[in-house]
Amino acid sequence: MDKESIVKLDKDYIAQFYGRMELAPISGKNATVVNADGREYVDFTSGIGVNSLGIADEGWINAVTDQLKKIQHISNYYYSEQTGLLAEKLVKASGMKRAFFCNSGAEANEGAIKTARKYSFDKYGEGRNRIICLTNSFHGRTLTTLAATGQDVFHQFFFPFTEGFDFVPINDIEALNNAINSSVCAIMCEPIQGESGVNPLSPEYAKEIKKLCSENDLLLIFDEVQTGIGRTGRMFAFQHLDVTPDICSLAKGLGGGLPVGAVLLGERCECTLAPGQHGTTFGGNPAVAAGANAVMERVAEPEFLKSVLDKGEYIRAAVSSWGLDTVVEVRGAGLMVGVQVRCSHKEVAKKCLENGLMILTAGKDVVRMLPPLTINYDEIDRGLEILHGVLRSM
Protein backbone atom coordinates (compact mmCIF):
# COMPACT_ATOMS: atom_id res chain seq x y z
CA MET A 1 0.00 0.00 0.00
CA ASP A 2 1.37 3.46 -0.77
CA LYS A 3 1.73 6.13 1.89
CA GLU A 4 -1.30 8.16 0.75
CA SER A 5 -3.60 5.12 1.04
CA ILE A 6 -2.30 4.33 4.53
CA VAL A 7 -2.87 7.94 5.60
CA LYS A 8 -6.38 7.92 4.10
CA LEU A 9 -7.34 4.79 6.05
CA ASP A 10 -6.20 6.49 9.24
CA LYS A 11 -8.09 9.71 8.53
CA ASP A 12 -11.27 7.85 7.53
CA TYR A 13 -11.46 5.18 10.19
CA ILE A 14 -9.25 5.88 13.21
CA ALA A 15 -10.42 8.22 15.98
CA GLN A 16 -8.38 11.35 15.40
CA PHE A 17 -6.72 12.16 18.72
CA TYR A 18 -3.08 11.70 17.70
CA GLY A 19 -1.14 14.48 16.04
CA ARG A 20 0.61 12.12 13.65
CA MET A 21 3.88 12.98 11.93
CA GLU A 22 4.14 12.57 8.15
CA LEU A 23 5.52 9.04 8.12
CA ALA A 24 4.08 5.56 7.58
CA PRO A 25 6.88 3.11 8.43
CA ILE A 26 6.50 -0.31 6.89
CA SER A 27 9.78 -2.02 7.75
CA GLY A 28 13.26 -1.42 9.05
CA LYS A 29 16.39 -2.80 10.64
CA ASN A 30 17.84 -1.76 13.97
CA ALA A 31 17.61 2.09 14.08
CA THR A 32 16.80 2.52 10.40
CA VAL A 33 13.15 2.77 9.40
CA VAL A 34 11.75 2.41 5.88
CA ASN A 35 8.78 4.60 4.98
CA ALA A 36 5.97 3.43 2.70
CA ASP A 37 7.51 5.56 -0.09
CA GLY A 38 10.80 3.63 0.25
CA ARG A 39 12.78 6.43 1.90
CA GLU A 40 14.98 5.54 4.89
CA TYR A 41 14.95 7.37 8.22
CA VAL A 42 17.23 7.20 11.24
CA ASP A 43 15.20 6.30 14.31
CA PHE A 44 15.96 8.21 17.53
CA THR A 45 12.56 7.24 18.96
CA SER A 46 12.37 3.41 19.15
CA GLY A 47 8.57 3.76 19.23
CA ILE A 48 8.86 5.95 22.38
CA GLY A 49 11.44 3.82 24.14
CA VAL A 50 9.95 0.46 23.23
CA ASN A 51 12.08 -1.23 20.56
CA SER A 52 15.05 -1.79 22.91
CA LEU A 53 16.76 -4.16 20.48
CA GLY A 54 15.81 -2.10 17.45
CA ILE A 55 13.65 -3.22 14.57
CA ALA A 56 13.62 -6.85 13.48
CA ASP A 57 16.24 -8.16 15.90
CA GLU A 58 16.73 -11.80 14.99
CA GLY A 59 17.17 -13.14 18.51
CA TRP A 60 14.01 -11.41 19.67
CA ILE A 61 11.99 -12.54 16.64
CA ASN A 62 13.15 -16.13 17.13
CA ALA A 63 12.29 -16.08 20.82
CA VAL A 64 8.76 -14.79 20.11
CA THR A 65 8.06 -16.98 17.10
CA ASP A 66 9.43 -20.13 18.78
CA GLN A 67 7.01 -19.50 21.61
CA LEU A 68 4.13 -18.68 19.23
CA LYS A 69 4.60 -22.05 17.58
CA LYS A 70 4.21 -23.76 20.96
CA ILE A 71 1.44 -21.78 22.69
CA GLN A 72 0.63 -18.12 22.27
CA HIS A 73 -1.64 -17.51 25.27
CA ILE A 74 -3.21 -19.50 28.06
CA SER A 75 -4.38 -17.00 30.77
CA ASN A 76 -3.14 -16.48 34.27
CA TYR A 77 -5.18 -19.41 35.57
CA TYR A 78 -2.24 -21.60 34.59
CA TYR A 79 1.54 -21.65 35.02
CA SER A 80 3.74 -20.44 32.19
CA GLU A 81 7.44 -21.21 31.82
CA GLN A 82 8.30 -17.98 29.96
CA THR A 83 6.39 -15.82 32.43
CA GLY A 84 8.11 -17.47 35.38
CA LEU A 85 11.53 -17.10 33.77
CA LEU A 86 10.84 -13.43 33.14
CA ALA A 87 9.85 -12.84 36.75
CA GLU A 88 13.03 -14.59 37.88
CA LYS A 89 15.19 -12.36 35.67
CA LEU A 90 13.47 -9.19 36.85
CA VAL A 91 13.67 -10.13 40.51
CA LYS A 92 17.33 -11.14 40.31
CA ALA A 93 18.32 -8.04 38.33
CA SER A 94 16.49 -5.65 40.66
CA GLY A 95 17.11 -7.20 44.07
CA MET A 96 13.37 -7.07 44.67
CA LYS A 97 11.22 -10.03 45.71
CA ARG A 98 8.43 -10.71 43.23
CA ALA A 99 6.85 -9.48 40.01
CA PHE A 100 3.42 -9.41 38.47
CA PHE A 101 2.55 -8.58 34.90
CA CYS A 102 0.18 -6.43 32.89
CA ASN A 103 0.07 -4.88 29.42
CA SER A 104 1.19 -1.24 29.62
CA GLY A 105 2.83 1.42 31.71
CA ALA A 106 -0.43 2.95 32.90
CA GLU A 107 -1.64 -0.46 33.99
CA ALA A 108 1.62 -1.15 35.81
CA ASN A 109 1.17 2.11 37.70
CA GLU A 110 -2.43 1.22 38.52
CA GLY A 111 -1.11 -2.04 39.98
CA ALA A 112 1.56 -0.14 41.91
CA ILE A 113 -1.01 2.28 43.35
CA LYS A 114 -3.38 -0.54 44.30
CA THR A 115 -0.53 -2.35 46.05
CA ALA A 116 0.49 0.74 48.03
CA ARG A 117 -3.07 1.48 49.16
CA LYS A 118 -3.72 -2.14 50.09
CA TYR A 119 -0.47 -2.32 52.07
CA SER A 120 -1.55 0.69 54.09
CA PHE A 121 -5.14 -0.52 54.47
CA ASP A 122 -3.96 -3.87 55.82
CA LYS A 123 -1.75 -2.19 58.43
CA TYR A 124 -3.59 1.00 59.30
CA GLY A 125 -7.17 0.64 58.06
CA GLU A 126 -9.14 3.26 56.11
CA GLY A 127 -8.10 6.86 55.54
CA ARG A 128 -4.38 6.41 54.94
CA ASN A 129 -4.41 6.31 51.17
CA ARG A 130 -2.89 9.52 49.75
CA ILE A 131 0.08 9.32 47.42
CA ILE A 132 2.59 12.12 47.00
CA CYS A 133 3.64 12.59 43.37
CA LEU A 134 5.83 15.17 41.67
CA THR A 135 4.84 18.21 39.69
CA ASN A 136 5.45 17.59 35.96
CA SER A 137 5.35 13.83 36.38
CA PHE A 138 3.68 11.55 33.84
CA HIS A 139 2.20 8.22 34.89
CA GLY A 140 -0.28 7.26 32.17
CA ARG A 141 -3.69 7.85 30.59
CA THR A 142 -6.15 5.90 32.73
CA LEU A 143 -8.28 7.98 35.08
CA THR A 144 -6.18 7.06 38.09
CA THR A 145 -2.79 7.50 36.44
CA LEU A 146 -3.94 10.83 34.96
CA ALA A 147 -4.87 11.86 38.49
CA ALA A 148 -1.36 10.83 39.62
CA THR A 149 0.20 12.85 36.80
CA GLY A 150 1.44 16.23 38.01
CA GLN A 151 0.37 18.34 35.05
CA ASP A 152 -2.90 20.32 35.12
CA VAL A 153 -3.35 19.93 31.39
CA PHE A 154 -4.24 16.28 32.05
CA HIS A 155 -6.79 17.10 34.75
CA GLN A 156 -9.60 18.23 32.47
CA PHE A 157 -12.83 16.92 30.92
CA PHE A 158 -12.95 13.45 32.43
CA PHE A 159 -14.23 14.24 35.93
CA PRO A 160 -14.42 12.71 38.45
CA PHE A 161 -10.79 11.63 38.61
CA THR A 162 -9.53 9.23 41.26
CA GLU A 163 -8.90 11.12 44.49
CA GLY A 164 -5.88 11.00 46.73
CA PHE A 165 -2.87 12.47 44.95
CA ASP A 166 -0.79 15.41 46.18
CA PHE A 167 2.00 17.11 44.28
CA VAL A 168 5.34 18.58 45.27
CA PRO A 169 8.07 20.08 43.06
CA ILE A 170 10.95 17.81 42.05
CA ASN A 171 14.12 17.91 44.17
CA ASP A 172 12.53 20.09 46.88
CA ILE A 173 13.14 18.22 50.12
CA GLU A 174 11.36 20.73 52.32
CA ALA A 175 8.17 20.61 50.22
CA LEU A 176 8.21 16.82 50.43
CA ASN A 177 8.66 16.90 54.19
CA ASN A 178 5.76 19.31 54.54
CA ALA A 179 3.49 17.15 52.40
CA ILE A 180 3.82 14.06 54.58
CA ASN A 181 1.01 13.54 57.09
CA SER A 182 -0.99 10.69 58.60
CA SER A 183 -3.15 10.25 55.47
CA VAL A 184 -0.19 9.48 53.17
CA CYS A 185 0.68 5.89 52.22
CA ALA A 186 3.25 6.27 49.44
CA ILE A 187 5.53 8.49 47.39
CA MET A 188 5.56 7.90 43.64
CA CYS A 189 7.97 9.34 41.08
CA GLU A 190 10.03 8.74 37.95
CA PRO A 191 13.81 8.58 38.56
CA ILE A 192 14.09 10.78 35.47
CA GLN A 193 10.91 12.53 34.37
CA GLY A 194 10.62 11.61 30.71
CA GLU A 195 7.54 13.17 29.15
CA SER A 196 7.99 16.52 30.86
CA GLY A 197 11.52 17.05 29.59
CA VAL A 198 14.16 14.57 30.85
CA ASN A 199 14.41 15.96 34.40
CA PRO A 200 16.40 13.74 36.80
CA LEU A 201 15.90 13.31 40.54
CA SER A 202 19.01 14.49 42.33
CA PRO A 203 20.76 11.65 44.21
CA GLU A 204 20.36 13.54 47.53
CA TYR A 205 16.64 13.93 46.92
CA ALA A 206 16.26 10.24 46.06
CA LYS A 207 18.04 9.28 49.30
CA GLU A 208 15.84 11.66 51.28
CA ILE A 209 12.68 10.17 49.77
CA LYS A 210 13.86 6.73 50.79
CA LYS A 211 14.63 7.94 54.31
CA LEU A 212 11.23 9.61 54.69
CA CYS A 213 9.52 6.46 53.42
CA SER A 214 11.35 4.31 55.97
CA GLU A 215 10.65 6.69 58.85
CA ASN A 216 6.93 7.01 58.05
CA ASP A 217 6.23 3.48 56.78
CA LEU A 218 5.39 4.81 53.31
CA LEU A 219 6.01 2.75 50.20
CA LEU A 220 8.36 4.20 47.62
CA ILE A 221 7.09 3.66 44.07
CA PHE A 222 9.50 4.29 41.22
CA ASP A 223 7.83 4.57 37.83
CA GLU A 224 10.53 3.11 35.58
CA VAL A 225 8.21 2.67 32.61
CA GLN A 226 10.48 4.88 30.52
CA THR A 227 13.80 4.63 32.39
CA GLY A 228 13.85 0.87 33.05
CA ILE A 229 15.46 -2.08 31.23
CA GLY A 230 18.79 -0.58 30.28
CA ARG A 231 17.53 2.74 28.93
CA THR A 232 19.81 4.78 31.22
CA GLY A 233 22.81 2.44 31.00
CA ARG A 234 21.89 0.46 34.12
CA MET A 235 19.17 -2.19 34.12
CA PHE A 236 17.10 0.14 36.33
CA ALA A 237 17.62 3.87 36.75
CA PHE A 238 17.31 3.47 40.53
CA GLN A 239 20.66 1.67 40.42
CA HIS A 240 22.33 4.98 39.50
CA LEU A 241 20.74 6.51 42.59
CA ASP A 242 21.59 3.63 44.89
CA VAL A 243 18.02 3.68 46.19
CA THR A 244 15.86 0.57 45.83
CA PRO A 245 12.12 1.28 45.80
CA ASP A 246 9.43 -0.87 47.40
CA ILE A 247 7.51 -0.98 44.12
CA CYS A 248 8.84 -0.47 40.59
CA SER A 249 6.63 -0.21 37.51
CA LEU A 250 7.95 -1.21 34.09
CA ALA A 251 6.67 -1.42 30.51
CA LYS A 252 7.90 0.11 27.20
CA GLY A 253 11.38 -1.35 26.59
CA LEU A 254 10.71 -4.53 28.55
CA GLY A 255 8.80 -6.19 25.73
CA GLY A 256 11.05 -5.01 22.93
CA GLY A 257 7.94 -4.14 20.86
CA LEU A 258 5.20 -6.31 22.31
CA PRO A 259 2.86 -4.94 24.98
CA VAL A 260 3.92 -5.99 28.44
CA GLY A 261 4.13 -4.19 31.75
CA ALA A 262 5.43 -5.39 35.08
CA VAL A 263 5.30 -4.40 38.72
CA LEU A 264 8.23 -5.40 40.91
CA LEU A 265 7.57 -5.75 44.61
CA GLY A 266 10.01 -5.45 47.50
CA GLU A 267 9.95 -7.36 50.74
CA ARG A 268 7.42 -5.15 52.49
CA CYS A 269 4.67 -5.64 49.94
CA GLU A 270 5.49 -8.87 48.10
CA CYS A 271 2.39 -10.57 49.56
CA THR A 272 0.09 -7.53 49.79
CA LEU A 273 -2.19 -8.51 46.91
CA ALA A 274 -3.98 -11.78 47.61
CA PRO A 275 -5.88 -14.05 45.17
CA GLY A 276 -8.84 -12.26 43.61
CA GLN A 277 -7.58 -8.77 44.44
CA HIS A 278 -5.86 -8.09 41.13
CA GLY A 279 -5.62 -9.71 37.72
CA THR A 280 -5.44 -9.48 33.95
CA THR A 281 -6.36 -11.64 30.97
CA PHE A 282 -3.35 -10.98 28.78
CA GLY A 283 -0.70 -9.66 31.17
CA GLY A 284 2.68 -11.38 30.80
CA ASN A 285 1.39 -14.05 28.45
CA PRO A 286 3.89 -16.62 27.09
CA ALA A 287 4.50 -14.84 23.77
CA VAL A 288 5.24 -11.37 25.17
CA ALA A 289 7.18 -12.92 28.03
CA ALA A 290 9.37 -14.80 25.54
CA GLY A 291 10.17 -11.51 23.80
CA ALA A 292 10.85 -9.83 27.14
CA ASN A 293 13.15 -12.69 28.15
CA ALA A 294 15.16 -12.14 24.97
CA VAL A 295 15.40 -8.41 25.80
CA MET A 296 16.44 -9.09 29.40
CA GLU A 297 19.13 -11.58 28.37
CA ARG A 298 20.74 -9.11 25.98
CA VAL A 299 20.44 -6.02 28.13
CA ALA A 300 21.80 -7.78 31.22
CA GLU A 301 25.17 -8.36 29.54
CA PRO A 302 27.65 -5.92 31.15
CA GLU A 303 29.12 -4.98 27.73
CA PHE A 304 25.63 -4.14 26.51
CA LEU A 305 24.91 -1.76 29.38
CA LYS A 306 28.37 -0.23 29.00
CA SER A 307 27.68 0.38 25.31
CA VAL A 308 24.46 2.22 26.24
CA LEU A 309 26.40 4.47 28.60
CA ASP A 310 29.12 5.08 25.98
CA LYS A 311 26.67 5.89 23.19
CA GLY A 312 24.71 8.23 25.45
CA GLU A 313 27.90 10.06 26.42
CA TYR A 314 28.91 10.26 22.76
CA ILE A 315 25.58 11.85 21.80
CA ARG A 316 25.59 14.34 24.67
CA ALA A 317 29.23 15.30 24.01
CA ALA A 318 28.53 15.77 20.30
CA VAL A 319 25.51 18.04 20.83
CA SER A 320 27.37 20.07 23.48
CA SER A 321 30.41 20.42 21.21
CA TRP A 322 28.34 22.17 18.52
CA GLY A 323 28.22 25.26 20.76
CA LEU A 324 24.88 26.37 19.32
CA ASP A 325 22.95 29.31 20.78
CA THR A 326 19.72 27.38 20.20
CA VAL A 327 20.81 24.75 22.73
CA VAL A 328 20.20 25.64 26.38
CA GLU A 329 21.20 22.35 27.98
CA VAL A 330 21.90 18.72 27.15
CA ARG A 331 20.88 16.22 29.84
CA GLY A 332 19.81 12.66 30.60
CA ALA A 333 21.44 9.31 31.26
CA GLY A 334 22.44 6.56 28.87
CA LEU A 335 20.26 6.63 25.79
CA MET A 336 17.61 8.88 27.32
CA VAL A 337 18.76 12.24 26.08
CA GLY A 338 17.07 15.63 26.36
CA VAL A 339 18.21 18.71 24.47
CA GLN A 340 16.57 21.83 25.83
CA VAL A 341 16.23 24.36 23.03
CA ARG A 342 15.40 28.07 22.69
CA CYS A 343 13.47 27.56 19.44
CA SER A 344 10.27 25.54 18.97
CA HIS A 345 11.02 21.91 19.87
CA LYS A 346 8.08 20.75 17.73
CA GLU A 347 9.51 22.60 14.75
CA VAL A 348 12.88 20.91 15.30
CA ALA A 349 11.23 17.47 15.30
CA LYS A 350 9.25 18.33 12.16
CA LYS A 351 12.31 19.55 10.27
CA CYS A 352 14.37 16.56 11.43
CA LEU A 353 11.72 14.28 9.96
CA GLU A 354 11.76 16.16 6.67
CA ASN A 355 15.50 15.56 6.61
CA GLY A 356 15.36 11.86 7.49
CA LEU A 357 15.50 11.71 11.29
CA MET A 358 12.74 10.56 13.64
CA ILE A 359 13.09 12.34 16.97
CA LEU A 360 10.78 13.07 19.94
CA THR A 361 9.87 16.13 21.94
CA ALA A 362 9.15 16.43 25.66
CA GLY A 363 7.79 19.14 27.93
CA LYS A 364 7.68 22.71 26.66
CA ASP A 365 11.10 23.00 25.07
CA VAL A 366 12.97 19.70 24.93
CA VAL A 367 13.98 17.62 21.93
CA ARG A 368 14.20 14.05 23.23
CA MET A 369 16.10 11.03 21.96
CA LEU A 370 15.18 7.47 22.95
CA PRO A 371 16.92 5.47 20.22
CA PRO A 372 17.03 1.67 20.25
CA LEU A 373 19.65 0.56 22.77
CA THR A 374 21.30 -1.32 19.89
CA ILE A 375 21.71 1.76 17.69
CA ASN A 376 25.15 1.70 16.04
CA TYR A 377 27.59 4.58 15.66
CA ASP A 378 26.92 4.94 11.96
CA GLU A 379 23.20 5.44 12.67
CA ILE A 380 24.02 7.82 15.53
CA ASP A 381 26.32 9.90 13.31
CA ARG A 382 23.77 10.07 10.50
CA GLY A 383 21.08 11.19 12.94
CA LEU A 384 23.29 13.72 14.68
CA GLU A 385 24.32 15.24 11.36
CA ILE A 386 20.65 15.86 10.55
CA LEU A 387 19.92 17.25 14.01
CA HIS A 388 22.95 19.54 13.81
CA GLY A 389 21.84 20.90 10.46
CA VAL A 390 18.32 21.56 11.73
CA LEU A 391 19.38 23.21 14.99
CA ARG A 392 21.92 25.39 13.14
CA SER A 393 19.17 26.61 10.81
CA MET A 394 16.77 27.60 13.65
Ligand X SMILES: Cc1ncc(COP(=O)(O)O)c(C=O)c1O
Tell me which residue of 353, 347, 351, 282 sits closest to 100, measured CA to CA: 282
- Asked if residues 266 and 62 have their Cβ atoms less than 8 Å apart, the reply is no
d(CA 123, CA 130): 15
When asked if residue 106 is in the footprint of ligand X (CB under 6 A), the reply is yes
Please tell me whether residue 251 binds ligand X under the rule CB under 6 A.
yes
The answer to whether residue 197 forms part of the interface with ligand X (CB under 6 A) is no
32 binds ligand X (CB under 6 A): no
- Determine if residue 367 is left, alpha or beta; phi over 0 gives left, psi from -120 to 50 gives alpha, anything else beta: beta
Residues 120-139 that bind ligand X (CB under 6 A): 138-139
Question: Interface residues for ligand X in 143-162 (CB under 6 A)?
Answer: none
- Based on CB atoms, which residue is closest to ligand X, 133 or 251? 251
Q: According to CB under 6 A, which one of 52, 115, 226, 272 is a site residue for ligand X?
A: 226
Counting contacts by CB under 6 A, is residue 110 touching ligand X?
A: no
Shortest reach from residue 194's CB to ligand X, in Å: 4
Half-sphere exposure of 345 (CA within 13 A, CB side): 19
Nearer to ligand X, 30 or 145 (CB): 145
Rounded to a whole number of angstroms, the minimum distance from the CB of residue 254 to ligand X is: 10
Confirm or reject binding of residue 105 to ligand X (CB under 6 A): yes
H-type alpha helices, 125-267 = 143-148, 173-179, 203-216, 238-241
104 binds ligand X (CB under 6 A): yes
What's the helix, strand, coil split of the chain in %, to 5?
40, 20, 40
Q: Does 190 bind ligand X (CB under 6 A)?
A: yes
**165 scored as a contact of ligand X (CB under 6 A):** no
Is 41 a residue that touches ligand X (CB under 6 A)?
no
| φ and ψ at residue 255, rounded to 5 degrees | -85, -10
Answer yes or no whether residue 140 interacts with ligand X by CB under 6 A.
yes
- Could you list the residues that contact ligand X (CB under 6 A)? 104-106, 109, 138-140, 190, 194-195, 223, 225-226, 251
